[in-house]
Structure 1
Amino acid sequence: MNSEERYLMMYNKVADPIGFGKPIEVSLEGLAEALYCTQRNVKFIVRKLEEDGFIEWQAGRGRGNRSRITFLYPKEKKLMELAQQYASRGEYKYAFELIDQYGEGTGVRHQFVEWMNSHFGYRTELIDDLEADLLRLPVYRPILTLDPKELYYAFSVHMVRQLFDCLVKYDREAGKIVPSLAHAWEHDEEGKEWTFHLRKGIQFHHGRDLVAEDVIYSLERLRGSAASGWFVRTIVDIQRRGPRTVTLKLDRPNWLLPRYMCSTGMSIVPHELVEQDEQFWEHPVGTGPFRFGEWTADRIIMKANSHYFLGRAHLDGVIIVIMPEDTAAFAKNWDQLLIDHDAKDYQPAQDWKKVEYVTNGCSLLTWNRGKKGPQQSADFRKAIDLLVDRNRMVAELGGDRMYPASGFYPGEESYDSVACPDVELALELLKRSRYGGERLKIGTYGIHEKDARWLQKELASYGIAVEIQLENWKSIRDEQVRQDVDCLLYCVVFAEDEVCMIELFEQTGNFMRDHLDPGLLQWVENKIDKALASRETDKRWKELMDIEYKLRDETHVLFLLHKKLQMFHTPHIKGIGMNSLGWIDFKDIWLEKTTG
């Protein structure tokens, strides 16, 4: 423990609420008791603090005379300085722990978060006497995994995309699948056999060339996994046709297989490292635009892959800082805001650029059909649907809430098909459902709490008692939680359109799949099989949209709102764009530097 921490510890024990600059009578015995140490250690601590100029000490002379200690600095000042020191070394978590330990009743936490705002953004820094362009961003959610096999959340998917690649990828602007690790692919007439040809010379970050065995291993390891195993359920055999050629054989047609291959869960990993290193996922190695640097409780550091086969990133590194979730209220939305801190005469005003679009997905409620309760009644579910005024929800809650939703995908059809609130009919349906005032338990997590509170208040006005079970990003995935609640409030984000919609019903552990009636789930799976067997896009969409319409019309799902994403940045920062996950593509960002 350094002198600053000893000072804060002793200040909390002795000087509160008297404060600094005033002599305080103490005894060595009393200090030893307060600091849980021996009198000998107290003498050492006092001497050290006095030598370092933190306190003045006047020893008591003679029997019964007490000593006097004067604290020379305000606690808030020293606490702030110490937190800044740790943050500057990248020890953000410990900085917040110190503030929580010693800063109660002060404004240090708020001040520290405001100081951290100036710490984030795009900077050019000297590393080993060389200039490095770094992007430092905070997140207010945990990074649960960097393993493509275990992906459930959009942010984890985004991070894995920086480190790994898939065989192919989807170009959303062009509306087509384009080469990635594979430069070419072909299929048989039935859509049951697909062959992929790998590029030559692609290297993993540790220097070994990509080969067919990596593809085979990466797909085989998904079998039986909770999150990504559904991708390979119809694959019955994977054959090596050469050092860079792989053929997949399916038990049924799947004309969406190339789109499956674009999904981050299908990322290709180095087979020998994953097999040999039990800690591989704590320091993963891929082929992606960034190499793994460090992962602690405080941050993740990624460094540019200088030999990336699709072109080196303009950035030299990205640092993701993991901030306490409750600090988001005091901080700028730095995951959507970029500032060039090195710009001269910086003016965050009219010349800023704005990027905004509606998220491809929606917020919704899934009803738990595996639990007894009022949600088993179609009349009850429809009544709730008719009582929720989504337009008013958007107006009153504001923020990123943009449009009312009647389906998964944003667009005029979803906005216009929202059921108009009808209190009279809703109350009649409640009566018909024999609802007896039972408490409805809504499970949700952090970022959706405001929406849940709004629903709680709104439904209470019609005599429907709502209990909110608030979880975090990790605990909401607990199987017991999902079984205990009557419904779950969350968001779905469709990074891969058709594939992500299918994922809702195919993925083990997906909230939608867990809560659907088993009979309905079987019907849905049959519709999905028909969609995959359809070579024509229009026919596939018809089958998939039939699923959405049934979920909506029979109120198996309560669609709520479509949300927006927006980002502001200075015109000096180029290459800005949001991907389908609502995150910035780090690889393409660059800083326009001018002289003069």
Structure 2
Amino acid sequence: MDNSSMNYLCLAAALDPAFIIQQPIPVTIEQLTAILCCTPRNVKFILRKLEEQQLITWIPGRGRGHYSQLTFLRSVDEVLEEKFQDMVSKGRIKPAIELIGQYQVNEPLKERLLTVLDKQMGFWSEPGSTSGQEVLRISRNRPMEKLDPAMVYTAFETYLLGHICSTLITYDAENGGFMPGLAHTWEANADSTSYLFYLRKGVRFHHGRTMTSRDVKETLQRLIGLDSPAISHFKDICHVGLESDYRIRFDLVQPNTFFLHLFSSIYMSILPYDVDFAANPVGTGPYQVLDLNEDVLVLGAYDLYYGIRPLLDRVEIWYLPHLGSSVRQYQLTDAGHNPLPAGEDQGHSIDYPALGCRYILFNFKREGLHQQQAVRQALRILYNQPAMIRELGGNRIMPADSFLPWKSSDHEFTEPPLEEARALLEAGGYGGEVLTIAYRTRKEDQEEASWLLERGRKIGLQLQLHPLTEYDLTDIMNHADLLIAEEVLEDDWQWGMINYFRNESNYLHDLLLDRQKTTLKRVLNHFSRLPAEERAELLDLSESKLRDNCWVLYGCHMNKKAQLSQNLFGLQTGSFGFLDISKLWVKSGFQ
């Protein structure tokens, strides 16, 4: 379909409310010239094309001062839907999204259009080339957060950066050890106060230059210069020595047995010293950034990747705010862009039990009755884990008493009567005040907020819902007493936990008081000097501070889902329960 449909929609929108199908509308060429922003000659050409495609009938006025007659033959919804489907079938996702926002679209039509758009997500094999370009499209129902290793604080963006950038070493969750990355080997001195990394030779950044030890040093310096929220993890480093282009040494002020975890973290993704990553995201990972804007992130396989080149050629992550599905689509469609009919076997779904949990955090920087521990204990009864799983179900698979599922499994859960919560409210001096719950507009958050609202009414507790379309700290600080949140940890769970307690960009840091954070800091003060078992004990003690004081109310562990094509191979899960895109490939079989 050419631009005729766009001209048709433009005319219909401009002439509304006079727009009526099959009824002539009096207009002049001068009017249409202004609407279409072109010359009278071009207007007549456009009208002729519209007539040829049986979109309108046109009867020109005879003589000066006489109106012409324009008759629309098809509804705006019909033409818009046809144009939309034409765009998405050709992979023009961004113009299709813009089309929805450009015209007034009723809800039933919007649902149909977004369903069409959703079917374009998943795997596509692009025709027209012998190379057989394979593309994965993923939809997200929220905008892209900071895509910068120094500042990243969300799971999905961390996952994406892991495909764009590489670290010196990687954590092997299965064996609990470390594997070579950009460094092919490393060593530490006897008292763990000095670490030496030996870098691979010939590793190229996406802009073509070879990586050297200077890039490693400047990556650390960048964290310091940007005042990264994770910079406290690296405070023990007192000197960085460039012993050659491919050897770098880190000297520490005290023993640090946790040091290797830091250099396998996303924050130490090695970046080129001669490129501003914020303006031009360049790394050494299996994928390079081809496009990044408010609508889409496009990643292309990097042919010069130092490891094994990805088999998927391109990955597109689209921001589709109205789709709202929490199931990731890894579906496969054929080269003709025809999704499999509904009801047919489209593959299978797999589950990813997430490391981490959903929870409630109190805003201690806001005055209110939630400052009283008895009131928080009442809310602990209200936000009862077994009751929530039983009544809300969904992907909630296990009650949580910790961020770690194996810790929660050791806890014996009870379900106290709501009357105990009423008594605790009275003990805390509750007199009918309103407590405000902030939550993101995601399915699970909305369900739990509404569920708490109804349970609160049963004991006379007035709760008020405060939905958040995005994480706005000022809004939360000023208006919320409670915040429904979810924490998903990396496979390196000790790193994930200590980062949760120390990182200055998360909910915990924002909403606890300084004295509370000091208490946690004191518990974890010697964390990095200890062996793994003793570090685990400190993390357990820190969680007990959150739990026993009701600073945090643990909710439930979640099960993440992904829809997979039956022809999809190379399935390997990474941190946060996402598939490792660089390992995926499509098996076509015998035709």
Q: Same fold (TM over 0.5)?
A: yes
383-392 or 258-267, larger mean C-alpha shift: 383-392
1:318 to 315, 322, 340: 315
Quick one: which of 524, 529, 533 aligns to 1:528? 524
Indicate the SS of the match to 1:138.
Answer: strand
Give the unaligned 5+ runs of structure 1. Answer: 275-279
Deviation at 1:90, TM superposition (A): 5.2
Q: 1:310 to 1:154 in 2, by over 3 A?
A: same
Specify whether residues 265 and 35 from structure 1 end up closer, same or farther in structure 2 by C-alpha distance, changes over 3 A only.
Answer: farther
Match of 1:306 among 303, 306, 309: 303
- Taking the aligned partners of 2:366 and 2:149, their CA distance within structure 1 comes to 32
CA distance in 2, matches of 1:299, 1:551: 38
Alignment equivalent of 1:459, drawn from 456, 459, 481: 456
Instruction: Tell me whether 1:188 sits opposite 2:189 in the alignment.
Output: yes
Gaps (5+ residues) in structure 2?
none
Q: Deviations over 1:521-545 (max 9, x none)?
A: 112112222222112x211101110
Q: 1:91 to 1:451 in 2, by over 3 A?
A: farther
Worse overlay, 5-14 or 504-513: 5-14
Matched residue, 2:495: 499
Shift of 1:340: 4.4
Other-structure match for 2:587 = 592
What residue is the counterpart of 1:277 in the other structure?
A: none
Give distance in 2, aligned partners of 1:90 and 1:295.
Answer: 17
- The 1:429/1:82 distance shift into structure 2, 3 A limit, reads same
User: 3-state SS of the aligned residue for 1:150?
Assistant: coil
Q: What does residue 328 of structure 1 align with?
A: 324
% of aligned pairs identical? Answer: 26
Is residue 389–residue 399 contact of structure 2 (8 Å, CA) maintained in 1?
yes
Kindly indicate whether residue 534 of structure 2 is the aligned counterpart of residue 539 of structure 1.
Answer: yes
Q: Could you tell me how far 1:161 is from its partner in structure 2?
A: 0.8
- Secondary structure of the corresponding residue to residue 582 of structure 2: helix
Q: Secondary structure at the match of 1:513?
A: helix
Please give the secondary structure, in 2, of the residue aligned with 1:159.
Answer: helix
Instruction: Classify the secondary structure of the residue corresponding to 2:80.
Output: helix
**Cα displacement (A) at 1:126:** 3.6
| Cα deviation code 1:341-374 (max 9, x no counterpart) | 3599968766834421311001111112222111
- Once the two structures are overlaid, the 10-residue window that deviates more, 351-360 or 361-370, is 351-360
Change over 3 Å in CA distance of 1:50–1:460 after alignment to 2: farther
Give the corresponding residue for 2:230.
228
Write the deviation string for residues 107-159 of structure 1: whole angstroms up to 9, x where unpaired: 33222222223322222214655321221222222112321011011111111
Q: What secondary structure is seen at the aligned counterpart in 2 of 1:208?
A: coil
Q: Work out whether 1:341 is the aligned partner of 2:299.
A: no
Contact 1:165 1:267 in 2 (8 A): yes
Distance, in Å, in 2 between the alignment partners of 1:2 and 1:346 is: 29
Distance 1:117 1:377 in 2: 47
Q: Label 1:482 to 1:40 Cα distance change in 2 as closer, same or farther (>3 A).
A: closer
Native 8 Å contact 2:437 2:483 kept in 1: yes
For residues 207 and 40 of structure 1, the distance between their equivalents in structure 2, rounded to whole angstroms, comes to 46
Instruction: Give me the whole-angstrom Cα distance separating, in 2, the residues matched to 1:250 and 1:269.
Output: 22
Q: Does residue 272 of the first structure (1) align with residue 274 of the second (2)?
A: yes
1:234-273 paired onto structure 2 within 5 Å: 234-273=236-275
Could you tell me which amino acid in structure 1 is paired with residue 260 of structure 2?
A: P
Distance apart, 1:267 and its partner CA = 0.4
The equivalent of 2:505 in structure 1 is 509
Alignment of 1:204-223 (within 5 A): 204-223=205-224
Q: CA deviation at 1:28?
A: 2.7
Distance 1:517 1:102, change over 3 A: closer
| Deviation by residue 1:210-248 (Cα, 9 ceiling, x = unmatched) | 111010000111115243323323322222122111122
Q: Which secondary structure state, in structure 2, belongs to the residue aligned with residue 326 of structure 1? A: coil
CA distance in 2, matches of 1:585, 1:11: 47
Q: Report the number of matched residues.
A: 581
Distance in structure 2 (CA, Å) of the matches to 1:171 and 1:115: 40
**Alignment correspondent of 2:137:** 136
- Distance (Å, rounded) in 2 between the aligned partners of 1:326 and 1:555: 35
Deviations 1:398-421 (A, max 9, x none): 332222211111236357344523
- Residue in structure 1 matched with residue 467 of structure 2 by the alignment: 470
Relative distance call for 1:402 and 1:472 in structure 2 (3 A) is same
TM-score norm. by structure 2 comes to 0.90
Contact 1:138 1:320 in 2 (8 A): yes
Q: Which residue identity is paired with 1:269?
A: L
CA deviations on 1:278-325 (whole Å, 9 max, x unpaired) are: xx43432111011221113332211112232221111112122221x2
Q: Deviations over 1:534-571 (max 9, x none)?
A: 12x21110111011112112211011111101223233
- After TM superposition, give the deviation of residue 271 of structure 1 in Å: 0.7
Of 49, 52, 63 in structure 2, the residue corresponding to residue 51 of structure 1 is 49
